[in-house]
Structure 1
Amino acid sequence: MIRSLALAALPFLLAAPAMAGPPVYPAFMIDKPGAEHYAWGEGNDGWHLVRTDDMSVIQERMQPGTKEIRHMHRKARQFFYVLSGELTMEANGEVTLLKAGEGIEIPPGMVHQAQNLGSVPVEMLVNSTPKSHGDRVEVAAIAQ
């Protein structure tokens, strides 16, 4: 009965006008081995799990003793979530130590710097909404 109702409705669904709005992307599974990889800094790695204009999700690995350049984003809101190791995040002059299972939100305009002061690599997820690439302003550029 349900199948016959669904089949009867099919011509109406196919004839319905397309909905206006943002493009709809197909759902698909992604994992680190299948993601686009890039290297940054001194031996650090990143994998693009989601890479759209609306959102970026990157899994990153920071080697011990490394840090990113102190910067901010004009539009992107970021959320850093530690998977393993310990991440030191300096944000607006305050230092927070994040352990596995902990995260921190960085709003647009907040100067910040991720650092691995530990003795083992840090694995983390970095979610940026909208994407942060092309939106980064280094602190030296802010002072000018």
Structure 2
Amino acid sequence: MDIVNLNQTAPFTTKDGSEIRELLAHRNSCIQNQSLAEARLPVGASTTAHYHPKTEEIYYITHGQGRMQIGEELREVNVGDAIAIPPGLVHQITNTGTEPLRLLCCCAPAYEHEDTVLVDL
């Protein structure tokens, strides 16, 4: 049985500039086809706009508020919002609140730096 506690997971910075704590993936568990991580963005910060050629993502906001851009669409997001990000679509999230923005990121297949392509908006 693989159980990973968020508070015992070391953070690292992804290619898009967000700080994440990978909870479950092939690197640390029996999970092979997806990954689950918590990402944190400081007040006023944004991820670098990017897309994933292979990976679909789900963001789930757990703390704070932000602005999500997928393609040309821009929406405000808050605690409890789940965001679907299909492969190949440029996306970026910005913390517009007064506290760190925290979100769960589910990736299938699992997150890999090599499947992240940075772009200029």
Q: Same fold (TM over 0.5)?
A: yes
- 1:74 paired residue number: 53
Residue among 41, 46, 50 paired with 2:24: 50
Structure 2 residue 117 is the aligned partner of structure 1 residue 137: yes
Deviation at 1:60, TM superposition (A): 1.3
What do residues 56-115 of structure 1 show as CA deviations (whole Å, max 9, x unaligned)?
A: 111111101101111110000000000010121100111111111111010001110111
- 1:114 paired residue number: 93
Moved over 3 A (4+): none
- Unpaired segments ≥5 residues, structure 2: 27-31
- 1:31 paired residue number: 5
Aligned 1:2-41 pairs, distance under 5 A: 27-39=1-13, 41=17
Q: RCO (CA 8 Å, sep 6+): is it higher in 1 or 2? A: 2
- Unpaired segments ≥5 residues, structure 1: 1-26
Deviation at 1:29, TM superposition (A): 1.6
Separation in structure 2 between the aligned mates of residue 51 and residue 95 of structure 1, nearest angstrom: 30
Separation in structure 2 between the aligned mates of residue 99 and residue 56 of structure 1, nearest angstrom: 22
Q: What TM-score, normalized by structure 2, do the two folds share? A: 0.84
- The one-letter code of the counterpart of 1:45 is E
Deviation at 1:126, TM superposition (A): 0.5
- The one-letter code of the counterpart of 2:12 is Y
- 1:123 paired residue number: 102
Separation in structure 2 between the aligned mates of residue 83 and residue 76 of structure 1, nearest angstrom: 22
Q: Is the contact made by 1:73 and 1:132 (CA closer than 8 Å) also made in structure 2? A: no
- 1:15 paired residue number: none
Identity %: 26
3-state SS in 1 of match to 2:7: helix
- 1:99 paired residue number: 78
Separation in structure 1 between the aligned mates of residue 2 and residue 41 of structure 2, nearest angstrom: 27
Separation in structure 2 between the aligned mates of residue 45 and residue 66 of structure 1, nearest angstrom: 11
- The one-letter code of the counterpart of 1:54 is N
